[in-house]
């Protein structure tokens, strides 16, 4: 009985720490690391666009994870079906080599620009969680976090994104 109560307390404490850490992210700004360069399929390294959007979706993708790269197909559909042109999507992609990134993007026919991160700068500077659902943010024009979560993983998160984006029009 004592062990069960102890485990329950530990689990509640751990959950509370998780929510405290997550809520603290809303007090922060995302560093978009201007020194990182963009890459676009069939164009190679390109100048990084500095959009003037009021809202941006920022997501981190590890190109060494083939399932993560394949999710880019879902991002293409989400962008085409649910986002207006006023929302910029920034894909920070960790890669070790440009040629392997190019092959991965070609495989899924992903032609949007991505931001190349060879040394995990984005994830380290912004202390991005290893939990994939927490590797996507909706940020405002000052890079302040408005939402955390990947709209591809949950209709509840997708609806939150939709209503937040609509409220900024």
**Token pair belonging to 3:** 């062990």
What is the average per-residue pLDDT within 59-70?
Answer: 90
pLDDT digits (tens, 9 = 90+) for 72-96: 999 999 999 998 888 999 999 999 9
Query: What pLDDT, on the 0 to 100 scale, is given for residue 147?
Result: 92
Which pTM does this prediction carry? Answer: 0.85
In this prediction, residue 3 has a pLDDT band, given cuts at 50, 70 and 90, of very low
Domains of the chain (ranges; CATH) run 30-167 (3.40.30.10)
**pLDDT on residue 7:** 35
């Amino acid at each position: 009985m004592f062990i069960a109560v102890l485990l329950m307390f530990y689990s509640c404490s751990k959950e509370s720490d998780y929510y405290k850490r997550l809520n603290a992210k809303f007090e922060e700004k995302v560093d978009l690391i201007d020194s990182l360069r963009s890459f676009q399929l069939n164009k190679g390294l390109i100048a990084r666009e500095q959009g003037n959007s009021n809202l941006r979706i920022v997501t981190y993708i590890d190109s060494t994870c083939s399932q993560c790269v394949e999710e880019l197909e879902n991002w293409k559909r989400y962008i085409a079906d649910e986002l207006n042109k006023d929302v910029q999507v920034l894909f920070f992609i960790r890669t070790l080599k440009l040629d392997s990134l190019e092959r991965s993007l070609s495989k899924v026919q992903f032609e949007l620009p991505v931001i190349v991160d060879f040394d995990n700068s984005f994830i380290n500077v912004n202390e991005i969680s290893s939990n994939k659902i927490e590797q996507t943010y909706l940020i405002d024009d000052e890079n302040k976090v408005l939402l955390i979560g990947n709209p591809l993983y949950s209709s509840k998160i997708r609806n939150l994104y939709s209503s937040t984006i609509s409220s900024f029009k």
